[in-house]
Amino acid sequence: MDQGRIRLGIARCLLGDPVRYDGTHKLDRTLRDGLGRFVDWVPVCPEVECGLPVPREAVRLVGDPAAPRLVGRTSGTDVTERMRAWGRGRLEALAHDDLCGYVFRYGSPSSGMSRVKVYPEGGGPARRDGTGLWAGMVMARFPDLPFEDDGRLRDPAIRENFITRVFTLMRWREAMADGPSPRALVDFHTRHKLLLMAHSVELYRALGRLVAGAGGPEAETLPGRYFPLLQKALGYLPTTRKHTNVLAHVQGYFKRVLSADERQELTGLVESYHAGLVPLVVPVTLLNHYVRKYGQAYLAGQVYLNPYPAELMLRNHV
């Protein structure tokens, strides 16, 4: 693996491997062929890796949704402890992979992130409030990682937010690579101001107040206090209104340099975006052009304008 590339865990069937109980797969070409150009996948199939064959009896979750058992759909054979015993070792191996996120398989009793069917002990209709056995272990072991499943990632806004969180986590780790320091924290926050504003103005302000203490006596503790708030802020989905506010804020940096025609063009594109007539990529592309044309150094360093590789085309759909 390229040490400089992002690593993401993924349900192995989503990469096209025929590891499902019936010998099929659930290939997601957007993940494998699109996002896969920019990340190294770390594939895991918990059912196969814990020793179950292909093909095999399908399994399901049974019992208490908070602590369900994983059993054979027909035989009732309980494989809960078998998977947990394997999973403990696999989690330790993943800890050395420096993951920046994980993509689970929607609805899977082993690899489903949420809304997995859980059947009552005595029979009856299933509840859709469970978490796959392996997915639950992963999320408990790595609570700071961005998680999604392939079903939710079909939503353009959720997909864009997930990738934003993944690349932000990578930048955070790079910023702290030489050890947490007030200087590194200030630099990171400065570059991410507009991005944070697009997710949560309230938490953007709270993070700013925190960073303002970088020269104080508790400066060394700031990175540890900053990161949870960063994750919380990015957990809020940006909206058209939030993006419009950020775009209007960025416009202010050009009010003295743009010609009348340029101002009119930019204002028109921001209004068109706000009205839903064009995607976010349109006004952002023009802003990037003006950043280069007029040498706006501060904006050139703002992650918001280029939060991930443009080739992913995520802002073409939000």
Answer for the pair 44, 101: CB distance below 8 angstroms, yes or no.
Answer: no
In the chain, alpha helices (H): 29, 46-49, 80-95, 133-141, 156-175, 182-191, 193-199, 201-211, 222-234, 240-251, 260-274, 281-294, 297-300
Residue numbers of the chain with a pLDDT score lower than 50: 1-3
CA 298 to chain CA centroid, Å, is: 26
Instruction: Determine the residue type at 188.
Output: F
pLDDT at residue 4, as a whole number: 66
Tokens 């910023």 belong to 175
Selection from 15, 236, 14 nearest residue 112 by Cα: 14
Q: Report the C-alpha gap between 146 and 231 in whole angstroms.
A: 9
CA nearest to 14, candidates 107, 143, 150, 208: 150
pLDDT of res. 199: 98
Q: What is the pTM of this model?
A: 0.95
Helix, strand, coil abundance in the chain, percent, nearest 5 = 50, 10, 35
Which tens digits make up the pLDDT trace of 202-221?
Answer: 999 999 999 998 888 888 89
Model pLDDT, residue 2: 42
